[in-house]
Homo-oligomer: A and B are copies of this chain.
Amino acid sequence: MIYLDHAAATPVSKKVFEAMEPYFSHEFFNPSAAYLPAKKVSAEYEAAKGVIAHAIGAKSHDLVITAGATEANNLAFSFLNKEPVFSSSGLEKSEMSYAGQPAEPSPSETNLSVSSGIYIPDFSNHFIIQKIQVLYLSTEHDSVRKVAEKYGGAAIDVDRNGRILLDDLKAKITDDTRLISVALVNNELGTIQPLSEIAAIIRKVRLDRLSRGVKTPLYLHSDASQAMNLLNVNVARLGVDLLTLNAAKIYGPKGVGALYVSHEVKLKPLNYGGGQEMGLRSGTENVPGVMGFAKAVEEVTKHLNGNRKKYALWRKILLDELQGYELVNKKHTLDNFVVLCYNGIDAERLIFLLEDRGVYLSTGAACAASKGVKSHVLKAIGLSDSEIAGSLRITLGETNTEEQIHEAAKLINEAVKIERRRR
């Protein structure tokens, strides 16, 4: 097996598994219980959170543990006003996304749960307006895009490499903007975003708002799920107020993630219950999961430099030995991402041919791929439909060896030849 889809899933490493194991059957106590063995588990859980936090330059109490990056991304948006904003006079057309139609709802079904605006019964000529509170990169994962849409969001454009167009960002910030969400590393291209430059723009906007007495806050959120494998992630240096982490992408367990939350941001919980995680995320703590997450963070940060060199070499081998492709992610990319376009070829068919030869890779994000949806990421960087159809994502990782990289190049070349001949 040559597994080339590490952006979709990573195996739990041996060390991570060993860190989790004692907490399943032996140290299984509920961290909220009052007796000593439970308090010991609670202390170890907090220490593990401390390890994760320390790796990004934060403290244990800055982190909310979640069931993964999706939940963390959703939680990051929770300080926004989900409820529609009222207007009796109407705002400027450009400021609002109005979708309501004056229609008479049945009394039992009267509700206001729409994202863009509906007519309010009984109050003629008044509409509910959803302001654009969020700006997000057009290449963001669905767990950011779809949430942003719920709160009133607009997309920021990217260039051919998938990098944010800072001028477009600047142009789209209004006094209604409360959150800007830009993934540190894109999950389909590996594109690294200039977060500190975005943070600098945000600081200017904040100062300008302050000088004009505008009290609306503006925060920066980043999904760093894919980033920790090869980047030193530090919240202060990046200038983020909210940061999403994901154990499952860094050789930790599935079903565990975290949201870093700066002291200024006042989130609302997504669910209610026992009040764990400082009231922001109720539910008995997933102790083994967090112990594994901490070990994964520890391991991945320990080997950053070595891994960066290793993947840079392997990427070069692939680009040298592969034939007849166009490289999609040319610049500003993590070295373990190789996105190739075989124009005129159906990449789906390539994947099946390669699967027969024991090579596993994908056309894009696993969750989008399973629904047969064309990648919105490749579309956003300006690829044509046929270019998108011919695109392959290779993501290298810990399961690979240099020998496998040569072998993969050979097998991919052969598969491409077979496909070209068929046509």
CB of A71 within 8 A of chain B?
yes
Q: How far is the CB of A97 from chain B (nearest CB, A)?
A: 17
* Alpha-carbon separation in the docked complex, A215 to B106 (Å): 10
Residues in B neighbouring A11, C-beta threshold 8 A: 24-26, 28
B33 and A362 within 8 A (CB) = yes
A248 and B284 within 8 A (CB) = yes
Binds B, one of A158-166, A271-279, A312-320, A329-337: A271-279
Q: Which residue of B lies closest to A20 (CB)?
A: B24
Question: CB within 8 A of A122: which of B37, B86, B284, B360?
Answer: B86
A33 and B12 within 8 A (CB) = no
Q: How far is the CB of A369 from chain B (nearest CB, A)?
A: 5
Q: Which residue of B lies closest to A287 (CB)?
A: B254
Question: CB within 8 A of A32: which of B270, B274, B283, B369?
Answer: B369
Question: Could you tell me how many residues of chain A have their Cβ less than 8 Å away from some Cβ of chain B?
Answer: 94
Once A67-B67, A112-B83, A283-B69 are accepted as A-B contacts, the answer to whether A370 and B24 lie under 8 Å apart by CB is no
CB of A400 within 8 A of chain B?
no
Residues in B neighbouring A29, C-beta threshold 8 A: 5, 8-9, 360
CB of A117 within 8 A of chain B?
no
Once A33-B5, A34-B370, A143-B283 are accepted as A-B contacts, the answer to whether A150 and B113 lie under 8 Å apart by CB is no
Question: CB within 8 A of A367: which of B32, B106, B142?
Answer: B32
B351 and A288 within 8 A (CB) = no
Q: How far is the CB of A415 from chain B (nearest CB, A)?
A: 13
Residues in B neighbouring A405, C-beta threshold 8 A: none
A70 and B282 within 8 A (CB) = yes
Once A111-B85, A113-B82, A143-B282 are accepted as A-B contacts, the answer to whether A35 and B67 lie under 8 Å apart by CB is no
Residues in B neighbouring A37, C-beta threshold 8 A: 1, 360
Question: CB within 8 A of A113: which of B254, B268, B282?
Answer: B268
* Alpha-carbon separation in the docked complex, A86 to B121 (Å): 8
Once A28-B9, A111-B81 are accepted as A-B contacts, the answer to whether A255 and B143 lie under 8 Å apart by CB is no
* Alpha-carbon separation in the docked complex, A224 to B166 (Å): 52
Q: How far is the CB of A163 from chain B (nearest CB, A)?
A: 24
Residues in B neighbouring A69, C-beta threshold 8 A: 283
A142 and B274 within 8 A (CB) = yes
CB of A233 within 8 A of chain B?
no
Q: How far is the CB of A149 from chain B (nearest CB, A)?
A: 8
* Alpha-carbon separation in the docked complex, A253 to B255 (Å): 12
Q: Which residue of B lies closest to A363 (CB)?
A: B34
* Alpha-carbon separation in the docked complex, A26 to B14 (Å): 11
B9 and A14 within 8 A (CB) = no
Residues in B neighbouring A273, C-beta threshold 8 A: 70, 73-74, 141-143, 146-147, 367
Listed residue (A35, A113, A371) with the most chain B CB atoms within 10 angstroms of its CB: A35
Pairs A–B under 8 Å by Cβ, sample size 30:
A1-B37, A5-B29, A9-B28, A9-B38, A11-B25, A17-B24, A30-B366, A32-B366, A34-B366, A34-B370, A35-B361, A38-B360, A68-B286, A70-B282, A70-B283, A74-B272, A86-B120, A88-B122, A142-B273, A142-B275, A143-B274, A147-B271, A254-B286, A254-B288, A254-B289, A255-B256, A255-B284, A270-B270, A275-B367, A275-B371
- Apart from A141-B273, A142-B275, what 13 extra A-B contacts exist at CB < 8 Å? A8-B33, A9-B28, A11-B25, A11-B28, A33-B360, A68-B283, A74-B271, A74-B273, A82-B113, A83-B113, A123-B123, A123-B126, A143-B271
Binding site for B on A (CB under 8 A): 1, 5, 8-14, 17, 20, 24-26, 28-30, 32-38, 66-71, 73-74, 81-86, 88, 106, 108, 110-113, 120-123, 126, 141-143, 146-147, 150, 214-216, 248, 253-256, 268, 270-276, 282-289, 348, 351, 355, 360-363, 365-371
